[in-house]
Structure formats: structure tokens, C-alpha cells
Structure 1
Amino acid sequence: MPFQLFRGQGPIEQTVDLDERLARVDRSALQAPDRYMADEALRHAVDVAIYLRMPLLLTGEPGTGKTQLAYRVAAEFGLGDPLIFETKSSSVAQDLLYTFDALRRFSLAQVATQTMEAGQREAALDPRRFVRYQALGLAILRANDPAIAARWLPADSPRDALAPRRSVVLIDEIDKAPRDFPNDLLNEIDRRRFRVAELGDDYLAAPEDKAPIVLITSNSERQLPDAFLRRCVFHHIEPPDTERLKQIVAARLPEFIDAPLLMRDAIAFFQSIRSEALGLDKKPSTAELLNWLDAMTGAQADSDKPLGAQQAIAQAYLGVLCKTDNDQVAVRERLAQWHGA
């Protein structure tokens, strides 16, 4: 039967530490880069984007692994964690490169004028102190020789972190940004260079041999400009078929490797409700299937029994799989009639 943490009614009993009641579950495999499984077409797309030094634009349903690919690429090439820019509806192109804290500099200038000598004032108000490099800007900065990068950093910045290195940059959900955002990035994407207006007119560019690997995700909520698309390698991640789903689930939820009956039946059910015939408002994604199986495991579902034999547990956690009221009703009815693959 489903596990119970929250009672939601009756008298409030003596507080019990929630951490003591939660099962100790190792979910590292769900996010581990070494468990990521790219198909052949996606591998080719990554290869050609790196070879041509062009951004890789990824589309596909939410939950198909677009964002996680950046972690896999970074881990496989030993490049540390990816530098991530999470696009917002208010984002402008400069935000991907750097931000400048003009307000803090102005406030400090009022104090410096009254309390500091000329030399101290100049050092304290050095505009380089108020620049914060963001994902793509930081990747371009990191790619440069220390002597070049130092010109763009405060004089007292640590120099031990300036060795030239390649980075992976993830521009996540670019279709959330205003319409002008992609067009305003054409030069930076094409030439991998930018300038900080507050520091002058010189450009900082990434050397060819340390060009950042740029991945861009889109949920296809709107069409991106043609000029931007021309500068990208494009790949659409298709939802995995049944066999690949089995491989993905086994990799991400290792407890199903030796006892896969529930996994096979849950995948068959998952594929059946994604069919056009059921007409769901939002088809569940691979990530939601993994979470559903994870929740059922936490509720002590028997991985050696099919889904139909564990209706109570499967029904209890449909909110993980289906995200609208109409979808939950339709899937609940399908589950009640489910007799296995």
C-alpha cells in the first residue's frame, strides 16, 4: 500500500523528524551523467557540432533529456560542470555574457568621493570590479591565456584559476526569451566574442582550440529566427521507443535490472496512454515515467508483479505521471481496465 508521511487530519502529534521517516533512497543514478543514454543520431549531432564549432540546438518534448545532455558532454570530456544560463521571459542577450552592477558602483562612488584619496578611489571604482561574467561570457574568458584574461578582471583577482580551458555552455529553454534575444546573439554565437561596454571597445574572443561547446535547448514554443538557426546544428530528440525505455529505466533505476516485470508492464502502460487514441492534454514524458516508477518503489511496490496486480499503488501516484485533471481521469480509467501488456 502507499506509504504515508503526511496525515492531514486529526490532532497534531509530537513532532517527529521528517528525515527519520523518509526512506534512505539513493537517487544518484537518476541524475548521474554516466547513466545518460544518447542514441546514434544524437551522438552524431554532438560530434558534428563540436567539429564545426557550432552550437547544438536541441528540441523535443520536455523530459526527453535535453538538459541532461550538457552534463553528459561535460563529464565525458572532463570539462567540469556545464555553465548554465536559464532563459527567462525578461532575458536580454547581454545577460548571457555578463551583468554590470552600475547601482553598486554609483553608491560606492558617493562614499569614495568623501573618504578616499584619488589613488584609492580609482582602484575602488575600477569598472572591472562590478562586472559579473555569465555562462557564455565566462566560457570565453576561461578559454583565454591568463595574460589576456587578466585585462578583463580586477587587479586583485586570483591568477591560479586563469589557465586556459574549454567549457560546456548550456542555454536552457531559449524559446522563453523575448523575440530579439536570439537575433542579438548572432555575432557572439558566430564568432565567440563579445565586448563589455563599460570597459571599452575591445573584444574578448575565445581561441579556436578552446572554443566552448554550446548546447541550446528549446521546447518549440515559438519559431526561432532563420538567421539564428543558420548558425546552429539542429537535432530533435524523439521520445524513446519501448526497447530504449527499458534500457533507460534500467540505467536510471537499477533496482529494476534483476526484477523487470513491473518495469516492462509500466512501460507498456505508459506507451499505451501516450497513444493518440487516448487524446491526453499533455503526454507524460520519460522523466515522469521514471518518477512514477520511483514513487511506486518507495511505496514498496513489488517489482516482480505486474502493474495490474498493484492497482492501489499505481493509482495513488498518478499525479506524478499526469498533470491535468482530465488526463488523470482518462488514465485512471485506463489503469482500472489494464490487464498487462
Structure 2
Amino acid sequence: MSLWPVYTGSSAPHDGIDALPAPPPWRAFDGGPPLPPARDEDADGGAPGRVHRARTYQPTPETVQLVNAALYLRRPLLVTGPPGSGKSSLPYAVARELGLGRVLRWNVTSRTTLTDGLYRYDPLSRLYAAGRAGDIGGPDAGEATAEASIEDHLRLGPLGTALLPYERPRVLLIDEIDKSDLDLPNDLLHILEEGQYEIPELVRAARSHPVAEVMVADSEDRVPVRHGEVRCRAFPFVVLTSNGEREFPPAFLRRCVRLELRRPLREQLEDIVRAHLGELDERDHALVDTFLRRGSAGELATDQLLNAIYLTRASGLTAPSRESLAESLMPYLGRAADCWDADDA
């Protein structure tokens, strides 16, 4: 029996992912043999900041709906919004609530290529290892040893790891996709559509070395890759974030579930502050007023408000100094607020 919503936004961990219905026939994948679920970041002593963001994330009803749509349809979620709107915190919250293990993170720049996300191969270290083996074992030993140990010079990237045949979907954050080279979104189309890829270096060695034990992106663990091909079993929950700085190709957009995050209103802001720092007092409400007033004239991020409230609480400053400090912690980030709203309209 299926369950809607699988992701509730409550932050309370549960096994609702096991009630996720079978994918649409055109989004079914059969990779194998299956790998056990990824380890939980809390249990592994993950970075405290990431764990805190996952526990305190406050999704809107629309966010909950569209996260579930992406999970059911096995489609990437393209999240657009101003800085500080919680785009990169969302995948950590989903992973924690649904028990999907550590989030795989791929930070995109203008120099990023598809191969960077799939795997990294170091031919120089392999050549050096082959030379050493040849010196020790004769003229044929180096070639045989290097071919058999090619996996020692190769490591899967975040995207490549997410597409392994895990029993439960991995969570992959592709951060700031709008900063990428113009070709990267199109290059991602085939991979995200087919849920599989090849590693040419392992394909070439498959005749004599059909199974390679390859290191994954987020740990020292190794997984078997057969004949150089990786194919997913449970399609990963992929979150692509964008600051809205560029347009994407229509073919790319139609393959994504699209979520647009907007600036939180007063009630949402107070809920966010409460989740991070506890109940608000009169001084905190005054800072929320200041944030909303300044936000009507320029672009601000929610974490600027959190920084201001935390610091004014911790410093024990009197009212005039506190207000001055708060204003200094809320500089405008860029273009005016009315420009962003016009783009969103």
C-alpha cells in the first residue's frame, strides 16, 4: 500500500520510503546486484552543521508536495530561489527523515564536466605503479599488474555513486547548476534519463578483469562494478539548485520537477528562528521587523537574520548597539528585491 506523502517535512525519521509505490514503467531500473542502504550521517558522526540544518529545516506545503512528486516520478527536483532560501538544506532534511544515508554533494563551477561527477581516474599514478611492477617482476608483470589494479587509480564521483544499484535511493545535491558550462545540463540529460553510465577504462579491462572493486565518493568503501557498467536500481533523489541566473534548455526542464522558493513571510521566518534558536522574545521580534523592512528594499538571506539574533543574544549589548550591530549583519546581497519579484512573476 502506497503512502502520500512519503516525505512529510516533520523532520522525524521514519521508514515511509519503503511504502513508495513502484515507479512509472518508463522510469523503472534494474541494476544489480543490490547494494545495502547507505549509512546514516547522524550515526556516522556527520558534520554538526549539516545535521543541524537537516533537523531544523522548515519546508512549505508546496515544497513537501513537489518533493513527493519527484520521489514518486523518479525525476530530479530543480530548486530555484534567492540566496539563503534553504535550497541546499532541503536534500539533507529529506535524507534524514527518510533514512537515505549521507547526502552526496556535487558543487558545480564553470569548469565542471560530466565526467567530474561520474568518476575520477588518475592515469599517471597507474603508469607509475605499472613501471614499479615491471621493474620488480619482469617485462610482462607491469602491464598485467596495472590492468588488474586499475580500480586503485579510479574513484566514483557523487553522481557516479548515486547511480549505483542501492536498495534505497541515494540523495544527491547538484549545487548551483546555473554556474555550469552551457553544455553540462544537456550532458546530464542522458545520464538522468537512462540511470546508467560506462567507465571506459574498466570496459577496456573487462576481458581479463570483469569485476572491479571501486571506491565510492563519500567513504573508503569499495563496490563491485561489472564490465565497466553502472546502472541504478532505485533512482536517486536528485536536487539541482539554481539562483535563477540563467535559463535552461527546454529538454532539460521537462525532465525535472520544478520548485521555486520565495522569501519567507513573517510567520515562516519566526518558525525558522524558533527551530534554530528557540522561542523569540521581544528583541527578536524587533529584529524580524528590521529584517522584513530592509528586505523590502534589497536582497537579504534568512541566515543573516539568524546570525543577527544569535549574536545580539550572545553579546548582551544594549538596544542602540544591538540595533547597529544587527543592521551591519544584514547588508544587501545584490540586486533589489523588486527585481527578483519581477523575475519570479
- TM-score above 0.5, yes or no: yes
Select the residue among 288, 291, 297 that pairs with 2:313.
Answer: 297
Aligned match for 1:238, one of 262, 267, 272: 262
Deviation, structure 1 residue 294: 1.3
Among 186, 191, 197, the residue aligned to 1:188: 191
Q: Which runs of 5+ in 2 are unaligned?
A: 1-47, 205-227, 337-345
Pairing 1:207-222 to 2, within 5 Å after superposition: 207=233, 210-222=234-246
* 2:321 counterpart of 1:312: yes
1:155-179, Cα deviation, whole Å (9 max, x unpaired) = xxxxxxxxx4421011011111111
| C-alpha contact 2:130 2:142 (8 A) present in aligned 1 | no
Confirm or deny that 1:203 pairs with 2:229.
yes
| Shift in alpha-carbon separation, 1:215–1:324, aligned structure 2, 3 A | closer
Aligned partner of 1:161 in structure 2 is none
* Equivalent residues in 2 for 1:112-151, closer than 5 Å: 112-117=133-138, 118=140, 122-125=144-147, 126-143=149-166
Query: 1:30·1:253 contact (CA, 8 Å) conserved in 2?
Result: no
Instruction: Tell me if 1:322 matches 2:331.
Output: yes
The structure carrying a bigger helix percent of its residues is 1
Rounded to whole Å, the distance in 1 between the matches of 2:302 and 2:292 is 10
Aligned residue in 2 for 1:272: 293
The equivalent of 1:41 in structure 2 is 62
CA shift, 1:110, in A, is: 2.4
Matched-pair contact (CA < 8 Å) for 1:29–1:35: no
Deviation at 1:269, TM superposition (A): 1.3
CA-CA distance at 1:205 after TM superposition: 1.1
Matches of 2:273 and 2:75, distance apart in 1: 32
Give the secondary structure class of the aligned counterpart of 2:111: coil
Match of 2:174, SS state, is strand
Query: 1:105-149 CA distances to partner (integer Å, 9 max, x unpaired)?
Result: 122222222223545752344322222101121122252xxxxxx
Instruction: Tell me if structure 1 keeps the 8 A contact 2:106–2:158.
Output: yes
CA distance in 2, matches of 1:121, 1:193: 29
Give the aligned partner of residue 167 of structure 1: 170
Question: Following the alignment from structure 2 to structure 1, what is the Cα–Cα distance between the partners of residues 264 and 332?
Answer: 20
Work out the CA distance in 2 between the residues paired with 1:93 and 1:294. 40
**More displaced stretch, 37-46 vs 123-132:** 123-132
C-alpha separation in 2, matches of 1:314 and 1:106? 62
Which amino acid is 1:175 matched to?
Answer: D
Preserved CA contact (<8 Å) 1:29 1:252: no
Alpha-carbon offset, residue 326 of structure 1: 12
Deviates more, 1:49-58 or 1:225-234: 225-234
Task: Please tell me whether residue 79 in structure 1 is matched to residue 64 in structure 2.
Answer: no
- 2:316 maps to a residue whose letter is Q
Matched AA of 2:254: R
The answer to whether the 8 Å contact 1:169/1:214 transfers is: yes
The residue number in structure 2 matching 1:108 is: 129
**SS of residue in 2 equivalent to 1:235:** strand
Amino acid at match of 2:192: I
Give the distance between the partners of 2:274 and 2:62, measured in 1 at CA.
Answer: 21
What amino acid is aligned across from residue 119 of structure 2 in structure 1? Y
Distance 2:334 2:114 in 1: 38
2:75 aligned to which of 35, 45, 54:
54
Structure 2-normalised TM-score? 0.71
Task: Provide the rounded CA distance (Å) in 1 between the counterparts of 2:199 and 2:51.
Answer: 39
Quick one: distance in 2 between partners of 1:326 and 1:180? 27
- The change in CA–CA distance for 1:212 and 1:234 in structure 2 (over 3 A counts) is same
TM-score w.r.t. length of structure 1: 0.72
Give the residue type in structure 2 aligned to 1:270. Answer: F
3-state SS of paired residue (2:329)? helix
- Other-structure match for 1:18: none
Distance 1:203 1:295 in 2: 51
1:185: how far off?
A: 1.1
2: CA distance between counterparts of 1:230 and 1:37? 27
Q: Deviations over 1:183-223 (max 9, x none)?
A: 1111111121111121128532112xx22111110111111
Distance 1:29 1:199 in 2: 35
Structure 1 residue 323 displacement after superposition: 5.0
Ranges in structure 1 where 5+ consecutive residues have no aligned partner: 1-26, 144-163, 302-308, 328-341
Correspondent of 2:180 among 172, 177, 181: 177
